[in-house]
Structure 1
Amino acid sequence: MSDNSLFKSILADTIHESANSYLIKELTDQFQSPQQLWHATEQELMKVKGIGKAKSRQIIAAVQLAKLILVPRAEQAVIRSPRDIFELMRFEIGMENKEFFYILLLDTKNKVISKELISIGSLNATIVHPREVFNAAIRQSAASILCVHNHPSGDPTPSQEDIQLTNRLAEAGKIVGIELLDHLVISGSDYVSLKEKGLI
């Protein structure tokens, strides 16, 4: 079964329709992939002819359940590589249509103490102040931190602003004695580690 057929089949089961029905065709014309459905609001779904409040809520509930299953619990995870950060955060922010900037606070054994949302931005930018980042880290007695944010554009290449922010955070970390270990930029199923690129 192709990905498209599977998508139609799951959607049909969710709202108790046939996969070949007019309603499923209308829905998949409007939302052509699971990624597009990921961000759909109740109001957007109800614009599709034949989708009322009950069916739109069924779809949103199924998407929320998928998010719960796919987004791993950060606390107690041990970070050994940039890939670990990516696997921890990819479903949380990889498909978002705004920039989300998180920090992961680590103990001395690189175990995640907590995950903190620092900023939500626009389509192509988010504003982050070192003060906010390190206040959270100091409050929770973190030994080190990791930064991670997404690029909704689909290109995880760090911008000049990303590099400058990373350098500012690394310098601030030296002053307060909390090392910035890495900064990951995630986009869809891809990522770039500024540490691996030699930018930290």
Structure 2
Amino acid sequence: MLLVRDSGAVAVQAPLRGPGDARECFTRSGIDLSSEAVETLWAIVLDCRMRMIALTQIARGTLTTCPTSARSIAQVVLAANGTAVILAHNHPSGDPTPSAEDVEATRRVKEALAAIEIALLDHIVVGDDRSISMREAGLF
């Protein structure tokens, strides 16, 4: 887990206002999801003022899937004392179009996190040269 306050890493001090700001968190931290050979799921953990407090890899999968659970995501958010999270994962195929499984898993995670007062603000899918915000696309 990359804890921003403690690590000396480049931090985004201003509140995150949208998917562009979330993408910038990865860029500033030197993480390039588009270059990953397998699917990886990351969490940007936010405080109550929507500032990034942690950036953590949640899971590492295969060429076509990255299994995870709401529990593993919640553990990361709670460990950082966060109130909200933005998820991001890559598609090694290069096509960032969310799959039906991506959409269903995101809906399940959002519902589970809401039950413990953690807001899932977005889930961004990264491809070779672009990314798609599932929130902006109206997918959850």
TM-score normalized by the length of structure 2: 0.85
User: Does 2:25 align with 1:88?
Assistant: yes
Kept in 2: contact 1:75–1:114 (CA 8 A): no
In the TM superposition, residue 75 of structure 1 has moved relative to its aligned partner by 5.7
Corresponding residue SS for 1:157: coil
C-alpha distance in structure 1 between counterparts of 2:11 and 2:59, whole Å = 18
Corresponding residue SS for 2:131: strand
C-alpha distance in structure 2 between counterparts of 1:87 and 1:113, whole Å = 14
Kept in 1: contact 2:19–2:124 (CA 8 A): yes
Match of 1:35 in 2: none
Corresponding residue SS for 1:115: strand
- Aligned-pair identity (%): 33
Greater share of residues in helix = 1
Q: How many residue pairs get matched?
A: 129
Please tell me the root mean square deviation across aligned C-alpha atoms, in Å. Answer: 1.7
Unaligned runs of at least 5 residues, structure 2? 1-8
- The alpha-carbon distance between structure 1 residues 75 and 81, as it changes in their structure 2 partners (threshold 3 A), is closer
C-alpha distance in structure 2 between counterparts of 1:124 and 1:150, whole Å = 10
TM-score normalized by the length of structure 1: 0.60
Unaligned runs of at least 5 residues, structure 1? 1-71
**Cα offsets for 1:58-101 (capped at 9, x unmatched):** xxxxxxxxxxxxxx835646321111222333652112111110
Aligned residue type for 1:120: R
Greater share of residues in strand = 2
Structure with the greater alpha carbon radius of gyration: 1
